[in-house]
Each structure stands twice: as C-alpha cells, then as structure tokens.
Structure 1
Amino acid sequence: MVNYREIIRLKTLDYSNARVASSCGSSRNTVAEVWNLAKEKNLIWPLDETMTNLDLHKVFYPYQGGEKGKKLPDFEYIHKELARPGVTLSLLWAEYCAQCAEEHAIPYQHSQFNEHYHSYAATKKATLRIHRKPGELMEVDWAGDTLTVYDSQTGEPMKAYVFVACLPCSLYSYTEAFPDMKSYHWIQAHIHAYNFFGGSTRILVPDNLKTGVIKNTRTELVLNRAYHEMAEYYGSAVIPARPVSPKDYRRKNVIGNSAKYL
C-alpha cells in the first residue's frame, strides 16, 4: 500500500517529488497525485496518530474498494484473527477470496494481500530487529498442534508430535515428528537437528517444558539431567525463554566459540 502518511510528511517539509518518491518507494506521479489530494482534503502534517494509510486511502478514494477496483481486505479483522492458534495469512487470504467471489469483487493476489497486511500491521505495533550471529543459537520447541498419522497396516489413527528447531539468523529450520514428547525423543530430536545443520550451536533456547527445564526463575535454573548432559556433551549453553513470555527472549553473554562442529 502507498505510504500516504510519509508522502504528506515529506511534502510538508518541501521535499521534491523525486526525493519523496525515492524515499517512499512510489512513482513521482503517485506522489504528485497524493499531495494534490491531500491539499484538496485540507490534510496537513502532523496528522492524527490514529489515521492509518488505510484510512487515508478511503479518504482519497471513497468510491474505490481497493487499488484498481479491487476489494480492500478488512485488515483489522485479519489482525485479530491472526492472534488465534492455527490461523495463518494463507487461510485468511483464502477466506477473503471466497468472500470476493460471493460479492463478485476482484481480490488481491496472495503476495499483494500479504504486503498490504504487513504495511497495516507495521502501524499497529512497534518492533525492534534483534541482530543474530550465524551459528550462535538454536531455538527449539514442540509445535503447538499435533498431526494425525495412520498406521499403514491397520489404518489406525495416531497422534504425532512435531519438534521444530530453528537457526534465527537465517531462519533455516528442521522438523521431525515423534509419537510422544518424552525426554528420550526430546534428546533424540536435538541430536538429529544438530546432524542436519552440521554442527552444534553455542546456545540452546527451549521453552520451559518439563522434559528440558525443571525450574526457571530469576534466581535459579534447574535443567532436566539428561538434557543438561546432552548440552554439556555438545558444548552448548541452555538459556530458556522467560516463563510466560517466550517471544521476548534476549540473549545473555555466553563465553565460547560461535559453533562447535560435529
């Protein structure tokens, strides 16, 4: 989506159309059109902080459902739905396309849909990029949902628990399904992940599941004995995510090489 707010801000500061276009990733014609519309609507900087680019689009093009006549998705609804377990942008895009078909409207392509949503989401939450060193840490956990697999001989359904390991610098990932989440399979999954990646990382970041972490408080960290011995063998330090807040993990200073190769 066009960054209407930034165009208005820069044009208010008397930047040329060419400079604004270069800064905002839009064409000079788009910049000129937006600035003329802003003056017609008496929109001057600073704008109300609650007015998003989506709101400005509706103000500038009130008779247009979306760019080039396409139906504009309900990004507020999408933003809320993504907080639910198992909901993805792909599922919401499929739902949006079905809605467009019912209304005989033109939908956005999947890539455009994602791009517009991410632009919207950027206005809702401040984020800070965390820089990672290659090979320094591996984040591990069991996936939230189980899979159903079927015995090839009897056809009997069985649950499969999916282990996920990720190198956050590159987002290179490894997954494997197991019949349960017991300690033996937890350790085995780490070994298979290390073999897949070709080396062991300095730091392991698990969630606080009992097969890996017995106790994790501000003053005390008690690891499962087998898990501690495995980490010791591979030269890794286990630094669990904070209880209740695994997403805000912050690296601690751990002395050692960036990676120990198998």
Structure 2
Amino acid sequence: MHLGFSERNIARSCPCSRNTVAKVLKKAAELKLFWPLDENMTDVALEKILVSHPKSNVQRCQPNLSYIHKELMKSGVNKKLLWTEYMETCRLSGEAPLMYSQFCYYIQQDEQKRRATMHINRKPGEQVEVDWAGDPAHIMDPDTGEVIDAYLFVGVMTYSQYTYVEAFINEKQQAWITAHIHMFEFFGGVAKILVPDNCKTAVVHNGGWYSQQVNTIYHEMAEHYGTAIIPARVKAPKDKPNAEGTVGKISTWITAALRNEQFFSLAEINQSIREKLAEFNARLFQKKEGSRLRLFHDEELPLLAPLPATSYELADWKQYTVQFNYHISISGMLYSVPYEYIKRKVDVRITDKIIEIFYNHKRIASHRRLYGRKGQYSTILEHMPKDHQQYLSWNGDRFRKWAEKIGPNTYKAIDAILTSHRVEQQAYRSCMGLLKLTERYSGMQLEVACQKALSYTVNPSYKSIKNILSAKTDTDKTPVESASTRKNHGITRGSAYYGRKQP
C-alpha cells in the first residue's frame, strides 16, 4: 500500500487471496503498523502479531517415540498396529489420543532426526575396509560344463579408496586369510586398522558393540602384520561405507564388465580382474581431482607400515592329548612332547612347514612337519625320560669302549656277543646285562670269568659268564661256612680216655 499498489495487485504478487490481503491490512491499521517498520520487527514477530492461530484447549497424549522406534524394528510390527495399541492406552488413562495422521507425522519427524549422518575425515594410511562382494563371478568347469560361483574379496583404503579385488572359490577361512595376505602385498604396506564385516572367519562370537571376540587365526594374522582389527557392528554398514560403496562399483566395472567372457579357472578370471582393477583405480574421480591410484601413491603409500620380512603362513589350531609314548599324532605322523605332559591336553598350531605345541599359552615343543609314509616319528631326545635317553644312546662302539676299560677278556667277550647276532642291536641287552655285573661283582672277577668262558668257547654268552661268577662265589663261600659251623668246644675227653680201661 505504501508503494501505491491496490489490494488486487498485492494479492497477485503474493501467493494469497485478496481477502487475505484485506484482513492483514485491516489488522495492521488496528495495531497502527506503518511502513517502514522498526528494525527489530522480524518476519516471525510480525506473523505472531498479525496472524492468530486457533488453539485447542484439549491436551493430546504424546506417543513414546523411543518405544515405537524399537518396536518397528521387529518383524510384523507396523504403524497401524502401534497406533491401535496407543489408542487403547489413551482410553484406559482417560487422555485424548492423536489421530492416525498426526501419530504418523510425529513418527516421521523422529525418524528424520535419527537419520542424521556425520562426515568423518579419514587420515591417510589409517585404515582399510574389507568385505565380500554381493554378486559372484562365474567359472565354467571345462570337463562337465558346470557353472561355478567365484566369490570376490574387496579391500578398500578409506582415504584414497584405492581398491583390491580377488576371486576365490569359497568364502572359508583359508580364502579369507589368503585374500588379506595378497591385499597387503598389492598395497605394498599395512594400514594401522583393519575393519572387517561380522563374518565367522573374522568374528567368532559377537556379543554386541562392547564385547567382540576376533577369530584366533584372523587375530594371529593381524599380529603378524602389526595391524589392529576393529570389526563393524552387526547390521551397521555405515561402519565401513567405503567397502559397501565400492562393492556396488565393483559389481558394475568388473563383474558386469566381464559378463560376456568365459573363464575356466581362478587364474584366468583373476588375471582379467587385475586388468579391470587397474583401469578402475586409474579412472578419474567425478567430484574431485585425481584418481584412486594417484591419491594412494602420493599421500597414503608413504604412511603405510612396511611389510614383514616373510608373509604370514596360514595356520590351523587343534587340541590333542599327549599319549603314554609322549607323542601326539597329526595326520598319521607322530611328534614328541616333553614326557612331563603325558595325558595333558595341548594346543597345536599346524602350518604347512611347522608343528608348534603349546600348553597354557606357552610353547613347549616345535617340529618340522613330516610328509610321505604314514607312521613316521619326529622325536627330540630331551623330550624322553632319562632311562629312555640312555637306551637310545647305546651302540656297539660304546659297549666295546666300556668293556675295554674293564679288561681285554671282557672286551673280547663283548665283541664276540655283538658279532654273534645277525643284527647288532639284538645283542645290546646281553651286553648291557654283562657289563652291569660290575655292580654286583668287581671288575677283576668279571675279567677272570670272561677269561674262563673264552677258554671254553669263542662265543661266550651273558648267561654262561654269569653262571661262572655265581659258581665261583659259592665256592669261595664254602670254607667260610664250614669254619663257621665247626664247634669250638667239641669232644674234650680225648682219645686216651676211650682207649684205656676205666677203674
């Protein structure tokens, strides 16, 4: 009106009717509001003065939005069911309920607040996200013509989004660990944090956000490379958004791009994947400068931890009970354990090259893994009891040296016994028994007995020499025994007494 426009022209310039313009002007005249307005008069304040909203005196019962949010996550629960329950609750409490449209409006407003997102700035070289792609590739069996699924492993550096992809025949533990080993080699370094999904090959038991148990083999692999594992929450894909987003792109630029090609082995499909992957990483970003490849090499690669001297070797953990022969059997081969652990349960780490045995998290034995004929033994001398060690330490030369210290005849007897058997080991018990006779008899006595036995035969035996020693001992004891049984007092009257006539 200040500019000289009519009410009709004002209505045309504003999205309202002429009657509305007339009402506003009339209200402004009553309130003595004229142009120009005061500087503190905002649109909100002006609306409060000019426009009066009718207020209802009825207080409506507000729904419990937190409870509704939790209930809607359950199977089969919808807004209509919750509104019916809400109406019944209001009826019992005597409060006025909201209509269904208003009930849904408040729920919608609450959901919008919960969908708030936060952008997290990732540091270069800080973490890598890993996952299995949803859509598998395909391999054709050249013999049967059967189409076999090949599952794609995806690893993404979160800062540069530099990606690694490899196909595997399954998603089991060996494939999962092998994929990580190849991924670290592809990146040329190791990120500080590893963010996997909650698959069984990564997390054995998930008790929630605060208690997550990482798979033992997966944890061991991470320790080898010096990285920390922080699994994503269950049903929380936003914990690893780069991997989730890249999975879709991989499905387009690699899986779909190879849909018209036929592959007959994993090697063939992985070769093609490498070629497509190189193109994918080198492709320029749409909304920022550079590419994944350039950003990774310029800013992330220098910050990655160096690879260890040797690649991680996949290990399998099993539990065994040590048998009475102080060995455990693994794939038909037997490996020794210190005899003190007989009948104890031990944890065994099995790799292609090494067998490691642990008790209470302490390594007690280690062996090189055996291959070939079943039933082979890998025995460490220190694991055996002392008497068993001594038995194994004996041989023909040692018996001869021991006998030579006693005398030449003993040496000849031992040598004769050793050479009298087709296999030398058959005489070890006889030689041990013969030489241990020195514990009961002197060395001189054994030397004399051997000399006497050799005068009878050129092949004396342990039994014949022992009999000679026993017989000589009995002979030596006879005079002593005779003297000990003689009565000192005897007949004291004398022979003269019996020869002469008594009065």
Query: What TM-score does the superposition give when structure 1 sets the normalisation length?
Result: 0.48
* Structure with more contact order per residue of length (Cα contacts < 8 Å, sep ≥ 6): 1
Q: Which structure carries more helix by proportion?
A: 2
